[in-house]
Amino acid sequence: MISAEFFNSSIERAMDVLSEEYSPKIKVVKDLSASAVFILALMALVSGLLIFFRYISRLI
């Protein structure tokens, strides 16, 4: 997860270097990289739930 966030930050900074003024194309690139991090976070959550489900179900 942390490495995905590093990639997202580096993509955002690279886009800022390319153009300091607003660009709809750069906004799309930034939004896509942020959504990729969000999807990876959801996948990590689902993986954690699948791995620890039997332990969590005992507590409930």
Q: Which residues are annotated as a binding site?
A: 5, 12, 30-31
CA 3 distance to own-chain centroid: 9
Instruction: List the one residue out of 48, 45, 35 whose CA is nearest residue 7.
Output: 35
State the binding site for a divalent metal cation. Answer: 12
Q: Which residues fall in the annotated binding site for substrate?
A: 5
To the query of whether residue 21 is one of the catalytic residues in this protein, the response is no
User: Among the options 2, 3, 4, 5, which is catalytic?
Assistant: 5
Indicate which residues carry an active-site annotation: 5
